[in-house]
Amino acid sequence: MTIFYVLMIFIVIASLIAVETTDLLSSVICIGAMGFGVSLVFLFLQAPDIAITQIVVEVLGLIILIRATISRDLTFISGDKEFFGTVVSVAIIFVIFLAGLRVFETLPEFGTPIFTQAPDAASQTYISQGLERTGAANLVASVILDYRAYDTLGEATVLFTSIIGATVLLRRKAKNTPETLQPVVES
Amino acid sequence: MKGMTVIVKTISSWVKVLIVLFGIYIILFGHLTPGGGFAGGVILASSYVLLMLAFGGEFVKEDLPLSLVSKLDCLGAFAFIMIAILGLVFAGVFFTNFLVERYGQPLHLLSAGTIPFSNIAIGLKVGASLFLVIYSLSICCKNEELDSH
C-alpha cells in the first residue's frame, strides 16, 4: 500500500514542477515522468494492458513531442562527452535487449494462448457464455460494447477530444480576433 | 481543390452509393459478422473523402455542411452515453445490456439488446469525426500552399 502513496507523491510533485517551471523542456520531461508514475500505478493495480497503453501514449508521445516541437531547446553534446554518451546508450540498449530476451522466454508458444493454460481466465467466460448473455454472435462486438464498454467509452472520448482540438487548431479563420474580443470587465 | 475529370466524377458518384451501403451494412450487422461501429464509420467517412477528391472540397462543403457533421458527431457521442445511462436507470449498473432478452433471438438481425444501438452511435461518431479530421487537414494543407506561393 505504501508504494501507492510514494507513487502518488511522485506524480503530484512531477505535475507541480511541470506547471510551475519556466523551462519548456523540463516541463515536458516532468509530464513524461508523471505519465511514467501513472503507468506504474496501473501496473501495481494489476492492469498491465492499460499500463502499456499509458506508457506508449504518455512517455513515447512526449519524447516525440520533444523531438518535433521544441528542438531549439535541445542541447547537443560533442567532443569527449559524445563518446561517453554513445557507450552509455549502447550499454543501456544491450541491457534492455537482455531483459527482452528473458521476457520472450516466459511467453507461451505461438498458437497456444494463455487462456488455454489458465482455466479461470476471463476470456474463457467470454467465449463460453458470450452468446447467451449478450445475444451477439460476433464475440468481438459483445466484448467491446458489453463486457468492456468502458474501454469503448474512453476511446470515443479520446476521439471526440482530439477532433475538437484538430478542428479548433486547423480552422481557417479565428472566431475571435483581438479586435472583436471584448475586454473582460471585472466586477 | 478543383476536382478531377468527368470520368472520375461519374464513376465516383456511382461508387459512392455502394460504399455508403457497405458502411451501413457493416454497422448494422456489427453484432453478427466481423465489423462494427468503428470499421463502418471509417467506411462511411471514406465515401465522402472519395467525393472530396473527385469533386473538390467546396462541393462536399455544400453537400454536407460542416455544422451538420459536427452535430452528427455530438449526436453519436450523446447517444452512446445515453445508452450507458439507460442501463444505469433500468438495470442499476452503468452500461448494462438491459434489452438483451426483451426482443429477438440470437443469430438474427434483431438481437443482442443494446449492442446494435451502440454500434450505430459509434458508427455515426467515428464517421463524422474522421470526416472532420480529413476536412480540417485538407484545409490546413491548402493554407500552406497559399502561404508558400
Q: Is the confidence at residue B146, as pLDDT, over 50?
A: no
Q: How far apart are CA B93 and CA B87, in angstroms?
A: 6
For the stretch B121-139, pLDDT in tens is 989 998 888 888 888 777 6
CA angle B8, B65, A182 (to 5 degrees): 140
A136 vs B31, B77, B125: nearest CB: B31
User: What confidence category does residue B149 fall into, taking pLDDT thresholds of 50, 70 and 90?
Assistant: very low
pLDDT mean across residues, chain B: 81
| pLDDT 10s digits, B114-123 | 888 888 998 9
- The Cα–Cα gap between A139 and A148 comes to 12
- In three-state secondary structure terms, A78 is coil
pLDDT of residue A106: 83
What is the structure's pLDDT at A171? 66
Put simply, whether A168 touches B (Cβ < 8 Å) is no
Grid cell locating B9: 466524377
pLDDT of residue A173: 62
DSSP single-letter state for residue A73: G
Residues on chain A touching B137 (C-beta within 8 angstroms): 166, 170
Interface test with A, best of B101, B122, B126, B145 (most A CBs within 10 A): B122
B59 touching chain A per CB within 8 A: no
B100 touches chain A (CB under 8 A): yes
Three-state SS for A108-131 is CCCCCCHHHCCCCCHHHHHHHHHH
H helix runs in chain A, sequence order:
2-20, 24-44, 48-54, 61-69, 80-106, 122-134, 139-142, 149-170
> Contact B76/B124 with Cβ under 8 angstroms?
yes
pLDDT means over runs of 10, chain A (187 residues): 87 90 80 86 81 77 70 62 85 94 84 72 77 78 80 82 77 62 59
Q: So where are chain B's domains?
A: 6-148
What is the sign of the dihedral through the CA atoms of B44, B47, B52 and B53? Answer: positive
Which pLDDT band, with edges at 50, 70 and 90, does B8 fall under? confident
Query: What is the ipTM metric for this complex?
Result: 0.74
Whether the model pTM is above 0.80: no
The CA distance from B93 to the nearest CA of chain A, in Å, is: 12
**Single-letter amino acid, residue B99:** L
- pLDDT per residue over B44-91, tens digit each? 888 888 888 888 777 777 777 778 888 888 898 899 888 888 888 887
